[in-house]
Structures are given as C-alpha cells and as structure tokens.
Copies of this chain bind each other. A is one copy, B any other.
Amino acid sequence: MFIFGKSRKGTSAERPSSSGSSFVRHRALSVRSKNGGGGSTQTSPTHRKGFTFASLRGSIQPELSRKLYRVIKSSNNLVSAHENAGRERTNIATQLSEWGEQTGDDGVSDISDKVGVILSELGDVEDNYAHGLEDARGVLKTIRNTEKSVQPSRDSKAKIADEIQKIKVKEPQSTRLVILEQELIRAEAENLVAEAQLTNVTRQKLKEAYAAEFAAVIERAEKQIILAKHGRRLLTLLDDSPVTPGDARESYQEGSAARQILNDAEDDLRKWEPDLDFEPGAGPAGRVATPEREVENARPLPVDDGNYMTPAVAKSDAADAELRTGDNVHTTGVAA
C-alpha cells in the first residue's frame, strides 16, 4: 500500500515503516504541480490563435473559467470511458453465454449463461455510474458559468480605474474625473456583488458536485459487490473435478439453484438504498443539482447601470442578489 507515499514525509517519524515509500511516489498530500501554471499550459484549450476550431466550438474561455473548463472537459472523457466499459460488459455477457451454449456441456452452458446475466447487470450499474458522473459534471458547469459572468465585471472595474489614472496625469482638472469616479464606485459595488456570488456559488456547488460524485462511486461499488458475490456463488455450482477419458460427467442438476441465486441477487439489489447519513453541508434548497440547459453564449450578471450604489447599498441588496444567483448562473450555461 504505497499510496499517499510522499504524504508520509511529514509524519514519517511516527510511521518509519511506510516512510521508505516516500521517495518512490510522485504524489504528495497535494496533487498540485509545483509550478501552478504548469498544468494549464499542457492541455488548456487553444487560445491566442485567432480563428480555430476551438474558437468555433466556443471553447476559448475567459482566463477566470479556463481551468475549470479543463476539468469539465476531462470529466466528459471520464463519463465516456465508463459508458464504453458498461457497453463492453453487456457484449461480453452475451458472448460468454453463447460460447457456453456451443460447448454442448449443460453445466458450462447454464453457468456461463447465468454468469452472463450477472455481468450484464454489472454493465448496467457501470452505465448508471456514468450518468451519476455526468450529473456531478453539470454542477461544476454552474461554477464555470458564474466565473465567466464575473469576468466582465472585473474587467470594467479595472478599465475605469485605468482611465482615471491616465486622466489624473494628463488633465487633473478634467470634469470627466468626477463622472468616472462615480462610475468606478458603481462598478466596484456591482463587482462586490459579483464576487460574493462567485464565492458563494463556488463553495456550494463544489461541495454539491463532489458529494454527488462520491455518492455515485459508493452506489456503483455497493451494487457491484452484491452482484460479484452472487456471481461467485454461481461458480461454486459448476463441478470441475477432472474426468478421465471415456468417462461421462454426471448430468448437471444445479439449474434451479442457479436460478435462485439470480433471484437472490435481484432481491438484494432491490433492497439497496443510498446511505443518507451524509449531508454535504448548508446551501439554500434552490441549489439542488440540476444539469442546466445549455445555451450558446454566456450573459454577464445584470448591472443596474443607472443607480449610484455604495457598498453599503450593495450589501443591503445582497440577499436579493444572493437569491438571484441561482437563476443567473443557470441562464449563463455554456456548452463544454
């Protein structure tokens, strides 16, 4: 068990036994590549390349949402991999059963067919797992969409501040300064709301997404354990004591026992329930995960251009803004 090997570095004093593995492992308590940006350069979607397929597919992301975009893209590959696995399982189930039939050996024929049923159920569970991962992925999109919508707010604030600095240098008396400073305060207020929405959505949806993902892992695991253990019972029904040439095997008598095992497996699967002892944590009821409908372009958060807003005012609006967040992020969905 070398996993987390390096993680022991800190505590190898208590566990000298496993500290030996510290150096053979590439992983630490962190999976973060030491140079923060390193990862993004490897696989980030092509940008600064003008007109490319990536740009057509809208996969050029604002800086803020680029890293999560990669996670969502890789998650899509993960979903496909498990979908393929489920499909192959089902193919194998039928092929194994047909092979057994062709052997002309009643015992091999029946057991291979029943094992095939177990395998194809394993395949169904694998496929459901893929759907569970897809749902979790949908929740991550909510974060990414909020990130996208916050970017313009940051940009406009920075742009106004820039302009003010320029003018202060060139023409300190300009009356435009007053206007611009008012605009800046409004932009800052709007950005305060946007950033609050971002941190709230990020934390709530991050927990929601991985709570859903871990729940899917546990459901697949518990159901496949049920199936595999009944599958092993099936194997014990097949007598594999060697026969000598010229001797016939005793005829196969285990058909009904094998059928009963499949019935037991079905009963156990029907009894299965998710363990609800886990509550990922707070978060308004409205925030339950629903992979949002995809739309072509992201819309920035609504900005009350007209109003002069102080941070204080913004604060009093926060609850309302807070409530709107859910809808905002859902109307800004973008295909990964």
Contact = CB atoms under 8 A, between A and B. Distances in A.
Interface of A: 1, 3-4, 7-8, 10-11, 18, 27, 29-33, 36, 39-40, 43, 67-68, 70-71, 74-75, 77-78, 81-82, 84-85, 88-89, 91-99, 101-103, 105, 107-108, 111-117, 119-122, 124, 189, 192-193, 195-196, 199-200, 202-204, 206-207, 210-211, 214-215, 217-218, 220-222, 224-225, 227-229, 231-232, 235-236, 238-247, 249, 259, 262-263, 265-266, 269-270, 272, 278, 280-284, 311-312, 314-315, 317-319, 321-322
Given A74-B95, A91-B74, A218 B228 contact: yes
Contact of A111 (B206, B239, B319): B206
Label chain A's interface by main secondary structure. Answer: helix
A113 B31 contact: yes
Q: How many copies does the complex hold?
A: 2
Nearest to A268: B1
A242 to B, nearest CB: 5
A11 B229 contact: no
Most buried by B among A225, A246, A283: A246
Given A214-B232, A245-B317, 20 more contacts: A11-B263, A31-B97, A31-B119, A32-B97, A36-B101, A70-B95, A71-B92, A74-B92, A78-B85, A78-B92, A103-B202, A105-B202, A108-B206, A196-B247, A206-B238, A211-B232, A220-B224, A221-B225, A240-B281, A244-B315
A322 B242 contact: yes
Given A77-B88, A107-B203, A196-B243, A93 B31 contact: yes
